[in-house]
Structure 1
Amino acid sequence: MMGAADTTDTTLSAATAYTAMTARRGGRFAGGEQMATVRIDPDTVAWTSAVPFYGPGAVHDGVDLIQLKILSDRRREGGGITWIVRFQPPPGKLIKVVAKALSDEHVFNLAGGRGTKSGTPARSSGAYSLNTEGQPHSAMIAQETESLIIYTGEPDQVLSVDLCDIA
């Protein structure tokens, strides 16, 4: 419990690159420099290929099935990386991602959501999930989906990305 004298700001803002590590240092990074506020208008950020993070399975027949808008990358300063990811499976297919969390991963579904092998929605927009560091996890995406993902450190180690027929 925080005492009255403790003024550490522990709020989370999508406009601020913020980690528990910097909170413990009073908003300062290891070198002592003050953490700056980062403000990004996601509408001005271009979609880019997710291949550098998700591997070659993010592309099928020359089409990016997975794309990213990288909002902030503070890994060099000891922070994490934040992006909006868009999954666009072709009709009758689903994208299956299997990964291991290399840091805590906060996932906020903005549109669409996860599905089952039959393509039935399992989670919809507005849902939140946390994959804690070290946790193996997977997702099946059968509809166009956008999610805000905040990693407290390194992003997931993606083990596989497969395009599967809807069962």
Structure 2
Amino acid sequence: MESSWKSFRVDPVSAPWEPARYNVVVEDGREYGRWRRVLRRHSHGLTVISRYKAPPGKAWKIVGKAPELGEEVFIMEGAYYNGSGRVIAGPGTFMFNAPGAVHGGICRDLTLFIHCCSGEPDELLSVDLVDFETKEDPPASGVQIAIAGK
């Protein structure tokens, strides 16, 4: 199978932030959930930046299954937590989720750079908004990602 490869660039205004279907609006009137910005879509790989934001006192508990060729994830900002509120992966952490691997974590405010090697995103197995309190904050990161209007 032959593929056509072309160089390109994605400017801040050329790819919109797409909200997830599970986003919620709570009492404070703000929307919380996940926003995704597709940087590249090709049969070789889907490359996105995903930003998660939970309401105060809550967190997103997400479990997914990696696509057939796996996925690469780099934490730009924020953290994954364990069930007792401790950071298990913070800014600068790189993870490879092997093909078919079930993986996930708990996050409050998290920005990820993701490359899905097969060109398909994870299969979401569960997405839950849970009551949550952290025991520690993630280390600071120098990476800043802004979502217009968020």
Q: Considering the TM-score relative to the shorter chain, is it more than 0.5?
A: yes
Unaligned runs of 5+ in 1: 1-29
By percentage of residues, which structure has more strand?
2
- CA positional deviation for 1:152: 0.8
- State the TM-score, normalizing by the size of structure 1: 0.69
Distance 1:73 1:34 in 2: 12
Q: Aligned residues, how many? A: 126
Instruction: Rate the CA distance shift 1:121–1:72 in 2: closer, same or farther, 3 A.
Output: same
Amino acid aligned to 2:8? V
Amino acid aligned to 1:72? R
1:145 aligned counterpart, secondary structure:
strand
**How far does the alpha carbon of each residue in 1:18-55 deviate from its partner, in whole angstroms, 9 at most, with x for none?**
xxxxxxxxxxxx2x4541123223x333211123xxxx
1:127 aligns with 2:97: no
- CA positional deviation for 1:64: 4.1
Pairs within 5 Å for 1:15-94: 30=1, 32=2, 34-41=4-11, 43-44=12-13, 45-51=15-21, 56=22, 59-61=23-25, 63-74=31-42, 78-94=43-59
Distance 2:36 2:105 in 1: 17
* Bigger CA radius of gyration: 1
Distance 1:33 1:89 in 2: 39
List 4+ stretches of structure 1 deviating above 6 A: none
Aligned CA-pair RMSD: 1.7
By percentage of residues, which structure has more helix?
1
Report % sequence identity. 29
> Which structure ranks higher in relative contact order (CA pairs < 8 Å, sequence separation ≥ 6)?
2
Unaligned runs of 5+ in 2: 134-150
* Counterpart position of 1:164: 130
- Given candidates 138, 142, 147, the residue that maps to 2:104 is 138
- CA positional deviation for 1:121: 2.3
1:107 aligns with 2:62: no
